[in-house]
């Protein structure tokens, strides 16, 4: 990269709503490490977003520590990138309130995640769940992110972030950078092992449907072996007619770097048993280093908290600068 040019900025967050899955890893986390080599990256544990669904306090605390340890375990260089916890930087909530007042009820009503989640949690359709994308817009806009690595499912939230930013800039001048989504091609959509029409999700009640990043090698192989395929017994990429096999092929491609043609060749005269075993082994290999590092870090609460503090300080410096600018534009009195 040209040394004269300032590096482009990237921000992404993940909710601490459970142990991340292979879907989260291949669709998001794995790319975060690579991206951080070329961009000014900030990554956060979105614990404010997490309470849009009811959380048990003890579990939430545990999951925040685990998700943070997981981000450190990815091997991102903490000298170059910022890794922090959203609730440690109050500017996120402050900007979210302001942006709420520049967001229309009608446009928020169209968000598909809200529709999905409110039907899943019909007993708790809270206002936070509704305005979730505004908090996400605040996360992104505070750091003036040029790019936001997200899975394909978050694309609509990125679009509304752009709309809110453009609207605000239209009124007050050039305050916010308009962010672009950054959706990796490989791994963008990893499907459930039990129902390949559905995405792999960490909150799925059937544990056989996902690989958790902390699953032991034996468990990974076992879950792969019980993955739903079809009766054709031919390893061929065809998402429409062979969603199960295609999903396993895309997992294998992500872990080995092989193309679909190369994979089809490798398993030309082999059955699904061999294929699933190989996919399982490739996943075990792919996760080995991250798991080792996670297991080391999670025991060291003192170190994790030191890193959190350092991350929060760095993030606050950037976030406060943007928030002050916004407040000045809106007409608040600075003291």
Residue positions annotated with a catalytic role: 117, 199, 202
Give whichever of 124 and 295 is closer to ligand LTN, judged by the CB atom: 124
**CA–CA–CA angle 319, 130, 313 (5° rounding):** 20
Q: Is residue 201 involved in binding ligand ATP (CB under 6 A)?
A: yes
Q: Is residue 28 involved in binding ligand ATP (CB under 6 A)?
A: yes
Contact region for ligand ATP (CB under 6 A) — 24-32, 75-83, 135-143, 302-310? 24-32
Can you say how many angstroms the Cα of residue 328 is from the centroid of all Cα atoms in its chain?
Answer: 32
**What does the block give as tokens for 50?**
């997490």
Site size toward ligand LTN, by CB under 6 A: 14
* Closest CB 5 distance from ligand LTN, rounded Å: 24
Site for ligand LTN in 29-48 (CB under 6 A): 46
Radius of gyration of the chain (CA): 21
| CA dist list (Å): 199 to 24, 203, 210 | 10, 11, 9
Site for ligand LTN in 3-22 (CB under 6 A): 11-15
Give whichever of 154 and 250 is closer to ligand LTN, judged by the CB atom: 154
Can you say how many angstroms the Cα of residue 55 is from the centroid of all Cα atoms in its chain?
Answer: 19
Judged by DSSP in three states, 230 sits in coil
Site for ligand ATP in 215-254 (CB under 6 A): none
Q: Is residue 213 involved in binding ligand ATP (CB under 6 A)?
A: no
**How far is the C-alpha of 206 from the C-alpha of 223, rounded, in Å?**
11
Site string for ligand LTN, 156-185 (x = CB under 6 A): -x----------------------------
Confirm if 45 and 70 have CB atoms less than 8 A apart: no
Q: Is residue 151 involved in binding ligand ATP (CB under 6 A)?
A: yes
Give whichever of 87 and 154 is closer to ligand ATP, judged by the CB atom: 154
The one among 87, 154, 177, 246 contacting ligand LTN by CB under 6 A:
154
* Residue 31 site contact among ligand LTN, ligand ATP, none (CB < 5 to 8 Å, cut-off depends on kind): none
Q: Which residue is it, tokens 């930013």?
A: 165
* Residue 190 site contact among ligand ATP, ligand LTN, none (CB < 5 to 8 Å, cut-off depends on kind): ligand ATP
Can you say how many angstroms the Cα of residue 232 is from the centroid of all Cα atoms in its chain?
Answer: 34
* Residue 21 site contact among ligand ATP, ligand LTN, none (CB < 5 to 8 Å, cut-off depends on kind): ligand ATP
Confirm if 335 and 324 have CB atoms less than 8 A apart: no
Q: Is residue 157 involved in binding ligand ATP (CB under 6 A)?
A: no
Strands 82-85 and 9-14 turn out to be unpaired
Please state, as a whole number, how many other Cβ atoms lie within 10 Å of the Cβ of residue 110.
10
Contact region for ligand LTN (CB under 6 A) — 65-73, 132-140, 183-191, 264-272? 132-140
Confirm if 64 and 48 have CB atoms less than 8 A apart: no
Confirm if 28 and 61 have CB atoms less than 8 A apart: no
**How far is the C-alpha of 300 from the C-alpha of 211, rounded, in Å?**
25
* Residue 148 site contact among ligand LTN, ligand ATP, none (CB < 5 to 8 Å, cut-off depends on kind): ligand LTN
Confirm if 152 and 189 have CB atoms less than 8 A apart: yes
Give whichever of 35 and 279 is closer to ligand LTN, judged by the CB atom: 35
Binding stretches for ligand ATP (CB under 6 A):
14-15, 17, 21, 23-24, 27-28, 150-151, 153-154, 187-190, 199-203
């Amino acid at each position: 990269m040209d040394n004269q040019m300032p590096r482009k900025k990237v921000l992404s967050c993940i909710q601490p709503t459970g142990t991340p899955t292979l879907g989260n890893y291949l669709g998001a986390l794995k790319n975060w490490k690579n991206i951080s080599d070329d961009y000014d990256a900030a990554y956060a544990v979105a614990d404010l977003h997490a309470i849009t669904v009811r959380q048990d306090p003890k579990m939430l605390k545990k999951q925040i520590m685990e998700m943070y340890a997981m981000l450190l375990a990815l091997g991102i260089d903490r000298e170059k990138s910022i890794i922090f916890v959203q609730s440690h930087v109050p500017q996120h909530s402050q900007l979210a309130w302001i942006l709420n007042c520049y967001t229309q009820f009608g446009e928020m009503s169209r968000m598909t995640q809200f529709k999905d989640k409110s039907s899943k949690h019909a007993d708790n359709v809270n206002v936070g769940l509704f305005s979730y994308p505004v908090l996400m817009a605040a996360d992104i806009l505070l750091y003036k992110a040029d790019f936001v690595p997200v899975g394909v499912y978050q694309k609509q939230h990125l679009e509304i972030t752009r709309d809110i930013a453009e609207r605000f800039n239209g009124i007050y001048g050039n305050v916010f950078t308009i962010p672009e989504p950054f959706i990796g091609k490989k791994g963008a959509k990893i499907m459930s092992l039990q129902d390949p029409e559905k995405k792999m999700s960490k909150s799925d009640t059937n544990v056989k449907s996902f690989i958790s990043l902390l699953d032991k090698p034996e468990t990974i192989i076992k879950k792969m072996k019980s993955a739903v395929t079809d009766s054709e017994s031919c390893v061929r990429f065809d998402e429409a007619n062979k969603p199960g096999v295609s999903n396993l092929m895309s997992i294998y491609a992500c872990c080995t770097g092989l193309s679909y043609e190369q994979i089809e060749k490798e398993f030309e005269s082999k059955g699904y048993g061999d294929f699933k075993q190989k996919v399982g082994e490739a996943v075990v290999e792919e996760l080995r280093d991250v798991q080792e590092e996670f297991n080391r870090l999670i025991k060291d609460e003192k170190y994790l908290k030191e890193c959190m503090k350092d991350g929060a300080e760095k993030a606050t410096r950037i976030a406060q600068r943007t928030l002050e600018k916004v407040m000045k534009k809106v007409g608040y009195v600075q003291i």
